[in-house]
Amino acid sequence: MAFSNHVIGAINFVAMLLSIPIIGAGIWLANQPDNSCVRILQWPVIVLGVLILVVALAGFIGGFWRIPWLLIAYLVGMLILVILLACLVVFIYMVTVRGSGHLEPSRAYLEYHLEDFSGWLQRRVRSSYKWERIKLCLSSTDMCSQLNQSYNMAIDFFNSHLTPIESGCCKPPTACGYNFVNPTNWISPINNIADPDCIQWSNDQTQLCYNCNSCKAGLLANIKQEWRKVDIILLITLIALICVYLVGCCAFRNAKTEDIFRKYKQGYA
């Protein structure tokens, strides 16, 4: 049984290592300006990673020090966490399956519309109370002011590949027909009713298009891109954890079989 216990301990050490990319993905999300303003996914990911680390550590201790009840707790706890991780992977995929940018004539960047995204994501930004807090967080960053330092000519700006949040929050919608002065200063719109966001635009550098639905959509598009990256990491880790868990179950069963056989031999002797 000692060999099997060492195998179980080694397997759980691998499970401990697999918690690192999960925790790392949550920390990476927390450090992204848009996600730090919305604060939806990063803490569930970090907490789940920490729980997997703790449960795997329990299995590691139980394997090497031959503590049966701790191994059983590990098997039950890890099964629950694997199921939760699978649910999280599916949830992220489902809420990010919708929402993409739209091409505009003579523009390299894309425009974004709030109604394109899943209802669950829309509800995270539609509430005026929630958006006021998010807007203040976004406007405190320098993402829009940096555009003024990068683009002086209209043609250069129109050919730029802006991030979704820059496209939605730092400039007016293209359909409005505003004339370019600099990336955050636009005048004389041609069609002020082409989009409800047209009248929301302000050259006030603290306002810009932060009150626009396009800004909410750009934020969700940015979040979608980042969540999709995290989802890939979680999916790969989930597959690895399932493999580790199944091997651990087999090793635990073999250890129990060896123990029963050893007791049988001792009783027969």
251: tokens are 């090793």
DSSP state of 102: B
Domain match, 165 and 238 both: no
- How far is Cα 193 from Cα 191, in angstroms, rounded to an integer? 6
Domain match, 94 and 20 both: yes
CB 226 within 8 Å of CB 177: no
Domain match, 165 and 234 both: no
Domain match, 92 and 117 both: no
Radius of gyration of the chain (CA): 26
pTM: 0.87
Tens digit of each residue's pLDDT (9 = 90 or more) over 182-208: 999 999 888 888 889 999 999 999 999
- How far is Cα 173 from Cα 52, in angstroms, rounded to an integer? 45
Domain match, 113 and 22 both: no
- Residue written as tokens 């820059």? 166
Tens digit of each residue's pLDDT (9 = 90 or more) over 133-167: 999 999 888 899 999 998 989 999 999 999 999 99
Domain match, 175 and 257 both: no
Residues spanned by the domain of 159: 101-220
Domain match, 160 and 93 both: no
Average per-residue pLDDT for the chain: 87
Domain match, 108 and 182 both: yes
- Residue written as tokens 């999960």? 22
- Residue 58 sits at the vertex; the CA angle it makes with 249 and 68, to the nearest 5 degrees, is 60
Tens digit of each residue's pLDDT (9 = 90 or more) over 38-61: 888 899 999 999 999 999 998 888
| Strand partners of residue 187 | 179
- The domain total for the chain is 2
Domain match, 93 and 113 both: no
42: tokens are 């990063």
Domain match, 167 and 183 both: yes
